[in-house]
Amino acid sequence: MWKQGRFFPLRVWLAGMLLLLLVFLSTACSDNQSTLPPPATKDLIARSQKAIQQVRSYHFHLTTDNAGSSGGDALVVTDATGDMVTPDKLQARADATVNKTALQVDIVAIGAREYYTDPITGRWTRTNDLLDPRTLSDAQTGVSAMLGNFHATGRPTAGSVTDRTCWYVTGQLPARYLAAITQGGTPTEGTVQASICVGETDYYPYQIRIQGVVIQGDTAETQRIFTLSDFNTPVSINEPKLP
């Protein structure tokens, strides 16, 4: 009886420490959960559209899984990381395919003048069928148009992208509004599944996820993820010198 009475406080102490540990772990796993009430979906998207229209620059990363082909000898970008300066400057390093041949190129576009590095010689070459920065910043064809024509099917839920707390909204998006990130070739009819991550307090569109057929050769499993960051960070984009 004396031994049981002596070790009872120890068992109580251990149980208390275990309870505190569980509380700590539960709190740590909830760091990305918003403490704010979910906003109205329509208001959230409208605020995000207004926010992107006022942006001067941003960093972007575009990835594509199970991509199709726009046909012919067109350069199809499957992964691109770079910077956009509105309204008409863009630079990026891209993984792409031409006639199913994989290659990596650097891209610079200033207005209507577009350039890429020849994958064989490494020299800058003039072209006209790459990512057009003007379509990305245009309110009728770019990111703003994607937001403005997004049809939400659910209420916002808390999440995060690149360490930014945001509201996720799922819905449908007409495929034709994706031409700015696929170099054209999008169908005039039809929609794709989409989800958008909108900043909790700044309302920037930190990510747009698209799944479905956008260009020739895509399937229902084709997924494109357009991630934006570093909004309004100064960026210098210069026209390359041709040989």
Domain of residue 110 covers 41-229
| pLDDT score, position 142 | 94
In a domain, 11, yes or no: no
Q: What are the tens digits of pLDDT across the range 19-49?
A: 443 333 333 333 455 667 889 999 999 999 9
pLDDT band at 107 (very low <50, low <70, confident <90, very high): very high
Query: Is the omega angle on the peptide bond into residue 37 within 30 degrees of 0, that is, cis?
Result: no
CA distance 83 to 61: 9
Is 118 part of any domain? Answer: yes
Distances (CA, A) of 225 to 36, 78, 82: 26, 10, 14
Amino acid, single-letter form, for residue 229: S
- Per-residue pLDDT tens for 173-228? 999 999 888 877 777 789 999 999 999 999 999 999 999 998 888 899 999 999 99
> 17 lies in a domain?
no
In a 10 Å sphere around its CB, with 0-12 CB exposed, 13-18 middle and 19+ buried, how is residue 170 labelled?
A: middle
pLDDT reading at 13 higher than 60:
no
Answer yes or no: is 3 within a domain.
no
Portion of the chain with pLDDT greater than 90, in percent: 63
pLDDT for 12 beyond 90: no
Percentage of the chain surpassing pLDDT 70?
83
Sign of CA dihedral 108, 86, 136, 227: positive
**For residue 111, pLDDT beyond 80:** yes
pTM for this prediction:
0.81
Confidence band, pLDDT 50/70/90 cuts, at residue 9: very low
Domain presence at residue 238: no
Across the chain, what does the average pLDDT equal?
84
- Determine the Cα angle at 148 with ends 142 and 149, to 5°: 95
pLDDT for 75-92, tens place per residue? 678 899 999 999 999 999
- Rounded CA-CA distance 178/136 in Å is 10
C-alpha torsion sign, points 217, 219, 221, 225: positive
Residue 17: is its pLDDT beyond 50?
no
With respect to residue 47, please indicate whether it lies within any of the assigned structural domains. yes
For residue 134, is it within any domain?
A: yes
Indicate the residue type of 82. G
Domain of 121, CATH number, reads: 2.50.20.20
Split into its structural domains, the chain has a count of 1
